């Protein structure tokens, strides 16, 4: 079936041309029009209006009952331990022998020094007798001065030799005495690290004796809290093993250097009246009060950390502003602020990661201290 032939007239061509002109004109008009502006989205944020909180700045540290004066005793000579006369917790007296090492080698050195001393004594007596005899002959003009001076020189040398031999003998006698470990004061044996059969070097501690009647509490303070501790600062000590018995005390000593491993500072706290039930090694809780301070607290979720600098978003004139702050640790679920904020500031607590500087916001406010 053949389709009928369509003949376009002049009118048809005019209509098609008019439609093309209208389409091109509409496209050009659309392209020249500015893009439609979208209505800005103003985010809703949760905020708190901060205030000052007066509180006691009290820090609590775990501690241990230690002796105020502790002696780490060691042998002054090297040898093998052959006797131990003490046990942990024993009471000892000043001068009491605690341990002994094998004196065999030291005794031989002592015997040699004693023999040398006796030989020096004999040599001294002989030289003295000779000098006295020739000095008497010289006074009678029986011998010359040169002969007398010769025997005088021998006598002087013998006297020096005797002095040296006596010093060596005394040193050997002391070394023999060092084979016994003696307590230097009355006290209690707190630790023992030397056992029978163990070879110890000179100066290696083998026992610790705590002096009677002098005990204190030892705690370790982190470096960021060291500035809040001072000598004679009041402290409250609680003894957990004694049904939370409390005692008053004060800071008596602060270490000048931090421990090389823990990077904490050793602090000693003297107890004004140490309970008689408190024993060495007992745990204790030490509370140090730095006084009443005014601080600003914000929820932990309000802190916006960038690098080492802590910041918070503050709403001013309905716009978000990022403010750097200085923190001083946690207090419960809040962070203590020491600088950067003032009472009455409105701080954002929710959605802080989606804000931009100067961005307009709507508040969903709730009051908090």
Contact 335, 303 (CB under 8 A): yes
Q: At a CB cut-off of 8 Å and minimum separation 6, what does 356 contact?
A: 320
* Alpha carbons 312 and 294: distance in angstroms, whole number: 20
Residue 28 lies in a domain: no
Residue 253 backbone class (left: φ over 0; alpha: ψ -120 to 50; beta: rest): beta
Q: Which residue would you say has higher pLDDT here, 311 or 17?
A: 311
Q: Output 323 or 33, whichever has higher pLDDT.
A: 323
- Name the pairing type of β-strands 234-239 and 180-182: unpaired
Give the count of domains, the chain: 3
209 is written with which tokens? Answer: 């004796």
Identify the domain containing residue 259 by its residue range.
Answer: 61-69+212-291
Residue 173: give its domain's CATH number.
1.10.287.470
Summarised one tens digit per residue, pLDDT across range 233-248 is: 999 999 988 888 999 9
Element (H, E) at 194: none
Alpha-carbon torsion (269, 275, 278, 283), positive or negative: negative
For residue 9, being part of any structural domain is answered with no
Question: What pLDDT digit, counting tens, does each position of 79-133 carry?
Answer: 999 999 999 888 899 999 999 999 988 888 889 999 999 999 999 999 999 999 9
Domain boundary among 291, 308, 330: 291
How high is the mean pLDDT of the chain?
A: 83
Pair 240, 178 in one domain: no
Q: Give just the sign of the alpha carbon dihedral 20, 22, 28, 33.
A: negative
What is the rounded distance in angstroms from the CA atom of residue 152 to the CA atom of residue 134? 9
Task: For residue 367, name the pLDDT band (cuts at 50, 70, 90).
Answer: very low
| pTM of the shown model | 0.50
> Does residue 204 fall inside a structural domain?
no
Cα–Cα distance, 289 to 59 (Å, whole number): 7
Last residue of a domain, one of 166, 199, 232: 199
Predicted confidence at residue 166, as pLDDT, reads 92
């Amino acid at each position: 079936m053949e389709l009928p032939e369509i003949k376009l007239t002049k009118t048809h061509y005019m209509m098609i041309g008019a439609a093309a002109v209208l389409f091109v004109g509409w496209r050009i008009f659309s392209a020249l029009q500015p893009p439609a502006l979208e209505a800005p989205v103003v985010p809703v944020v949760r905020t708190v209006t901060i205030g000052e909180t007066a509180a006691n700045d009290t820090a609590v540290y775990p501690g241990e009952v230690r002796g105020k004066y502790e002696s780490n005793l060691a042998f002054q000579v090297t040898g093998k331990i052959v006797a131990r006369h003490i046990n942990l917790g024993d009471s000892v007296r000043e001068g009491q022998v605690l341990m002994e090492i094998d004196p065999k080698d030291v005794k031989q050195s002592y015997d040699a020094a004693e023999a040398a001393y006796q030989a020096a004594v004999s040599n001294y007596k002989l030289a003295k007798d000779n000098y006295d005899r020739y000095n008497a002959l010289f006074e009678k003009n029986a011998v010359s001065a040169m002969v007398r001076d010769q025997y005088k020189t021998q006598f002087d040398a013998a006297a020096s030799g005797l002095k040296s031999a006596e010093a060596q003998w005394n040193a050997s006698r002391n070394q023999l005495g060092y084979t016994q470990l003696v307590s230097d004061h009355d006290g209690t044996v707190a630790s023992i690290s030397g056992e029978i059969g163990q070879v110890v070097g000179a100066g290696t501690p083998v026992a610790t004796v705590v002096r009677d009647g002098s005990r204190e509490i030892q705690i370790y303070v982190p470096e960021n809290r060291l500035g809040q501790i001072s000598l004679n600062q009041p402290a409250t000590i609680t003894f957990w093993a004694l049904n939370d018995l409390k005692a008053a005390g004060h800071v008596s000593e602060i270490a000048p250097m931090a421990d090389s491993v823990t990077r904490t500072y050793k602090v000693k706290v003297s107890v004004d009246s140490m309970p008689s039930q408190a024993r060495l090694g007992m745990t204790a809780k030490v509370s140090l009060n730095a006084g009443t301070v005014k601080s600003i607290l914000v929820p932990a979720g309000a802190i916006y950390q960038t690098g080492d600098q802590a910041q918070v978003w503050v709403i001013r004139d309905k716009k978000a502003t990022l403010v750097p702050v200085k923190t001083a640790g946690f207090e419960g679920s809040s962070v203590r602020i020491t600088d950067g904020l003032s009472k009455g500031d409105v701080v954002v607590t929710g959605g802080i990661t989606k804000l931009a500087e100067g961005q307009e916001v709507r508040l969903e406010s709730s009051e908090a201290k």
